[in-house]
Amino acid sequence: MEFRSTNTMFVHYQGDILSNVSSEGVGPSSHGVHLTGGSTGGIVQPCGDETNIALTVRAKGSGPLNLISSGALNLGGATSTAINLPSTLVVLGTSGGQVQSGGSTAPFGGFIRTAISSFSTPAANTTNIMVVESTATFVGVTSSHYILGNSSNLSTSIALIGLKCSSADEVRMSFIKASSLAIATGTTARISFLALRF
């Protein structure tokens, strides 16, 4: 089949197109662009006499460069040695997107971070060594997330030993009272949470 546009302003070529490359040293450049194709799809590649030639695709000014596919978007390949993203910020996926590396058994969906600056630890008005639990609001977390916590300003008799999410938007904390001293009222502490979304 020979594809044709219905727009009469378009020019159709049945062969390859070479652009901006000189012939025997005469012309604008020794490197150009080669537009070609094959049974697996269209190809844009550099042309020139050297074995290794770079190819740059650049948007104009601050305009975005969009690489769009309704199927898979492949970067690199089996012979690629590295993919470099020298940017101050790299965003992968949307707010609900996930990233999975080769060999992984589960995709990674990013981090959720929050902090409670004035958390009241549970009281332990007993001389027994014991584990007490408390909950806090952590918007965005679910039971499939892995949660880390870092506490400060806790009582010297209280330590944070466990975190889990059993209900959406809530984190359940386990504290151990490792002292025989009774703690009548909770102490005001700061706890930072980091959830790993899977």
Within-domain flag for 176: yes
Please report which confidence band the pLDDT of residue 192 belongs to, taking 50, 70 and 90 as the band edges.
very high
Contact 196, 146 (CB under 8 A): yes
Residue 114 has φ and ψ, to the nearest 5°, of -155, 170
pLDDT confidence of residue 187: 67
Within-domain flag for 96: no
pLDDT confidence of residue 170: 93
User: Does residue 59 sit in the same domain as residue 116?
Assistant: no
| Structure tokens given for 193 | 């949470």
Q: What is the mean pLDDT of the chain?
A: 84
Q: List, for residues 160-186, the tens digit of each pLDDT value.
A: 899 999 889 999 999 888 777 777 666
Domain, as residue range, for 19:
14-65
Within-domain flag for 6: no
User: Does residue 56 sit in the same domain as residue 117?
Assistant: no
User: Does residue 114 sit in the same domain as residue 192?
Assistant: yes
Instruction: With a cut of 70, say whether residue 17 has pLDDT above it.
Output: yes
Within-domain flag for 79: no
